[in-house]
A and B are shown apart, each in its own frame.
Chain A
Amino acid sequence: QKEVEQNSGPLSVPEGAIASLNCTYSDRVSQSFFWYRQYSGKSPELIMSIYSNGDKEDGRFTAQLNKASQYVSLLIRDSQPSDSATYLCAVRWDTGRRALTFGSGTRLQVQP
């Protein structure tokens, strides 16, 4: 059973701080990794995708992937109260399947 693990939180950070969200996955045969943001009662919204080891930056967001250690993380710089949401880590396994396997999400609270 391939799994994706996230700390459910809540992770509480003050406004302007860096929020660090982590995700581990169970199988080395993985290809693609995604971070989605989900506000309460809303649908998941893609924040970042990352496919190779290293860092990928997009504005205030940085995704980090370490396939050897089987973890992927999301850093949010200069956190804003509007960043308060649940962040879902998703993995597409390199088995020819198209489906995503999601973690249960980490709830982030940015305190003003």
Chain B
Amino acid sequence: DTGVSQDPRHKITKRGQNVTFRCDPISEHNRLYWYRQTLGQGPEFLTYFQNEAQLEKSRLLSDRFSAERPKGSFSTLEIQRTEQGDSAMYLCASSSLEPGQGTTTAKNIQYFGAGTRLSVL
């Protein structure tokens, strides 16, 4: 399977526990994104990596959230001291410049993984 892979698919945890999710992007995609989606809403941006550098962080990303992308390959998203309000689907997406496009005209198509559904009890 050459798509975006996320693990685990489901996570149930108790309030106050720490959780970590993993995302493996499409191979050779240098951009990786994390989004959060709650019921009835569209995905909300959390953070973005280009290679190993974290270039954007949303104000939604409180200090309990941390994301890494060591070596510019897979990424992890950790939530410390989980709260019930953290219950959501956490989506990872990856993208790359289209062949032949410069940075100013890149189409930046984002492809999503299946997501990790987090339930905080």
Tell me the A residues contacting B by CB distance below 8 Å. Answer: 4, 8, 32, 34, 36, 42-46, 49, 51, 88, 90, 92, 97-105
Q: Which single member of B40, B42, B108, B115 contacts A98 (CB below 8 Å)?
A: B108
Contact A44 B91 (CB under 8 A): yes
Q: In chain B between 68 and 108, which residues have their CB closer than 8 angstroms to a CB of chain A? A: 91, 95, 107-108
Contact A99 B48 (CB under 8 A): yes
**Closest B residue, CB atoms, query A45:** B112
Contact A99 B42 (CB under 8 A): no
Distance of A98 Cα from B108 Cα, bound (Å): 8
Distance of A103 Cα from B40 Cα, bound (Å): 10
Distance of A47 Cα from B8 Cα, bound (Å): 26
Q: Which of B43, B44, B50, B113 has the most CB of A within 10 A?
A: B43
Chain A residues, CB < 8 A from B110: 34, 46, 100
Given A99-B56, A104-B41, A104-B42; A43-B109 close (CB under 8 Å): no
Given A44-B43, A49-B107; A98-B112 close (CB under 8 Å): no
Does B114 have its Cβ within 8 Å of any Cβ on chain A?
Answer: yes
Beta-carbon contacts of B34-73 to A below 8 Å, as 1s and 0s? 0000001111110010100001101000000000000000
Chain B residues, CB < 8 A from A32: 107-108
Contact A97 B41 (CB under 8 A): no
Contact B113 A92 (CB under 8 A): no
30 contacts between A and B (CB under 8 A): A4-B42, A34-B109, A34-B110, A36-B112, A43-B91, A44-B91, A44-B112, A45-B112, A46-B109, A46-B110, A46-B111, A49-B109, A88-B43, A97-B56, A98-B48, A98-B50, A98-B56, A98-B108, A99-B45, A99-B48, A99-B56, A100-B33, A100-B45, A100-B110, A101-B45, A102-B43, A102-B44, A104-B40, A104-B42, A105-B40
**Closest A residue, CB atoms, query B50:** A98
Does B31 have its Cβ within 8 Å of any Cβ on chain A?
Answer: yes
Q: Which of A32, A99, A100 has the most CB of B within 10 A?
A: A99
Contact A98 B31 (CB under 8 A): yes
